[in-house]
Amino acid sequence: MAPLVRAFMKSLRLEETAEFRSLEQDWPALAGPRLAPHTRPGPLDATGALTVFVDHSVWLAEIQRTGQAELLVELQAKYGKTKVRGLRLRLDPGK
Mean pLDDT of the chain: 85
The model's pTM is 0.79
Question: CA 33 → CA 17, 56, 71, 85, distances in Å?
Answer: 25, 16, 12, 23
Cα–Cα dist 5/10, whole Å: 8
Return the pLDDT at 24: 87
Cα–Cα dist 75/83, whole Å: 9
pLDDT band at 33 (very low <50, low <70, confident <90, very high): very high
Which domain range does residue 78 map to?
22-91
Report yes or no on 77 lying in a domain. Answer: yes
Report yes or no on 56 lying in a domain. Answer: yes
Report yes or no on 16 lying in a domain. Answer: no
Report yes or no on 8 lying in a domain. Answer: no
Report yes or no on 57 lying in a domain. Answer: yes
Q: In the β-sheet with 39-44, what is the strand arrangement from edge to edge?
A: 39-44, 49-54, 86-91
Instruction: Read off the CATH number of the domain in which 85 is found.
Output: 3.30.300
Does residue 30 sit in helix, strand or coil?
helix
pLDDT at 42 over 70: yes
